[in-house]
Amino acid sequence: MNIGKKKNIQAKHNAGAPPGELYYIGEERSDKVKITLIQYNEADFYETDFYDWSACVGAIKPKMVTWINIDGIHKLDLIEHIGKHYNIHPLSLEDIVHTESRPKYEDYDHYVISIMKMLYCNEKGLSNEHLSVLLFNDTVLSFQEPNGKDAFDVVRLRLLHAKGRIRKMQADYLAHALLDAVVDGYFKMLEKVGEHVELIDEEVIDMSQNKVLPRLHELKREMIFLRRQIYPVRELVNNLVRSETDLIQESTHVYLLDLQDHTNRLIETIEGYREMLSSTMEVYLNNSSNKLNEAMKTLTVISSIFIPVTFIAGVYGMNFRHMPELDNEYSYAAVWLVMISIMVGMGIYFRRKKWW
């Protein structure tokens, strides 16, 4: 969770800057920002890529649902241009570019804004991408960090192929579809995390404990990170459901309830993983204490069997002149008998105690 750790658990903040002033704190980038303009209604669908905002604005056709996706938030002047064009509040713009903003939903008069992270899980751990979705009357703006994986492709394809009801619905349904795609991405990510949890659980149970502790610790840290990301998303969706904005139509509301249900499931899943990891940790500790027990018992059994008889052997190794036993012909056999009796007796005693 290298990226997640460095970027999010440490609460970096553009401290000192006045609120509402744009300030990019993410990775340095110099690549161009791709602006994708998608317009559609039930009949038509257009998609064009631009690298220039004024060209994009010029291409917008009226009376269609408009979705503008901005693939990059490091060009602050572009963001400011867009902000001026759509009359976006400076605090919203700050949240769009500030990659450490908490997931949240805010309701302005002429638009609503949802800020959240896209979360991915690969073999290196968790990674995340900052994302903002703004819903205007018939327009949706989405801002994201440029990255190979795109959770929105699935929405684009549904629009392109007019799959389901999406082309018949308004911009608010599109905004919902985008959020839904993100939440779906969370499920995919959690499924992978869940596989790691299951794996470590099995390894601990099987006692094939190879470097299991740092990985358990890492998974716990990931859970802490995920809670910090996903609890606010639930709050976001709850606010969205309770919102009284006119921008969301009655018919879309039932889909938001569905989304709310999904976020509840996410939370329950994460909490389930957390409890499982705690229980796994307990089993791990126990296995480790069982091994200690085993070593202790082995040592005790071996010592208890041999130390007394070694003493006896030592006695008859003494060089006193007057040791009457030494001269007797059967002494040696007798001593062996005694020693073997002791050893067998000890063995039986510990056997009864089930120490071996």
Q: Shortest distance, CB of residue 164 to a copy of itself, whole angstroms?
A: 4
- Segment near a copy of itself (CB under 8 A), from 34-42, 54-62, 125-133, 163-171? 163-171
CA distances 163 to 96, 154, 188, 247, 259, Å, are: 30, 11, 22, 24, 19
Give me the long-range contacts of 118-123 (CB less than 8 A, separation at least 24): 118/144, 118/151, 118/182, 118/185, 119/185, 119/186, 119/189, 119/226, 119/229, 120/149, 120/185, 120/189, 121/188, 121/189, 121/190, 121/192, 121/193, 122/192
- Residue 247 Cα to chain centre, angstroms: 33
Among 122, 164, 337, 348, the residue binding a copy of itself under the rule CB under 8 A is: 164
Does the footprint of a copy of itself cover residue 258 (CB under 8 A)? yes
Using CB under 8 A as the binding rule, the residues of this chain from 71 to 100 that contact a copy of itself are 89, 91, 100
Instruction: Give DSSP secondary structure letters for 169-238.
Output: S-HHHHHHHHHHHHHHHHHHHHHHHHHHHHHHHHHHHTT--SSHHHHHHHHHHHHHHHHHHHHHHHHHHH
Q: How far apart are CA 234 and CA 268, in angstroms?
A: 11
Q: Shortest distance, CB of residue 47 to a copy of itself, whole angstroms?
A: 18
How close are the terminal C-alpha atoms of the chain, in Å?
A: 44
Collapse the DSSP code of 155 into the 3-class scheme (helix H, G, I; strand E, B; otherwise coil) and give the result. Answer: helix
- Compute φ and ψ for 66, nearest 5 degrees: -115, 130
- Segment near a copy of itself (CB under 8 A), from 27-35, 41-49, 51-59, 277-285? 277-285
Q: Which run of H or E residues covers position 140?
A: strand 139-144
- Compute φ and ψ for 253, nearest 5 degrees: -60, -40
Does the footprint of a copy of itself cover residue 104 (CB under 8 A)? yes
- Looking at the Cβ atoms of 53 and 111, the one nearer to a copy of itself is 111
* Closest alpha carbon to 38 in 59, 8, 61, 68: 68
- Looking at the Cβ atoms of 57 and 304, the one nearer to a copy of itself is 304
Q: Shortest distance, CB of residue 128 to a copy of itself, whole angstroms?
A: 15
Q: Binding-site residue total for a copy of itself (CB under 8 A)?
A: 116
- Looking at the Cβ atoms of 3 and 166, the one nearer to a copy of itself is 166
Q: Shortest distance, CB of residue 61 to a copy of itself, whole angstroms?
A: 25
Using CB under 8 A as the binding rule, the residues of this chain from 174 to 233 that contact a copy of itself are 177, 180-181, 184-185, 187-188, 190-191, 194-195, 198, 205, 213-214, 217, 220-221, 224-225, 228, 232
Among all chains, which residue has been given the structure tokens 């308004």?
Answer: 170
Binding mask 292-331 for a copy of itself (x = CB under 8 A): xx-xxxxxx-xxx-xxxxxx-xxxxxxxxxxx-xxxxxxx
Binding mask 5-44 for a copy of itself (x = CB under 8 A): x---xxxxx-xx-xxxx-----------------------
- Looking at the Cβ atoms of 43 and 318, the one nearer to a copy of itself is 318
- Looking at the Cβ atoms of 55 and 307, the one nearer to a copy of itself is 307
- Looking at the Cβ atoms of 43 and 254, the one nearer to a copy of itself is 254
Q: Shortest distance, CB of residue 187 to a copy of itself, whole angstroms?
A: 4
Does the footprint of a copy of itself cover residue 160 (CB under 8 A)? no
Does the footprint of a copy of itself cover residue 166 (CB under 8 A)? yes
- Looking at the Cβ atoms of 243 and 304, the one nearer to a copy of itself is 304
Does the footprint of a copy of itself cover residue 246 (CB under 8 A)? no
Q: Shortest distance, CB of residue 310 to a copy of itself, whole angstroms?
A: 4
Q: How far apart are CA 333 and CA 317, in angstroms?
A: 15
- Do 127 and 120 contact (CB within 8 A), yes or no? yes
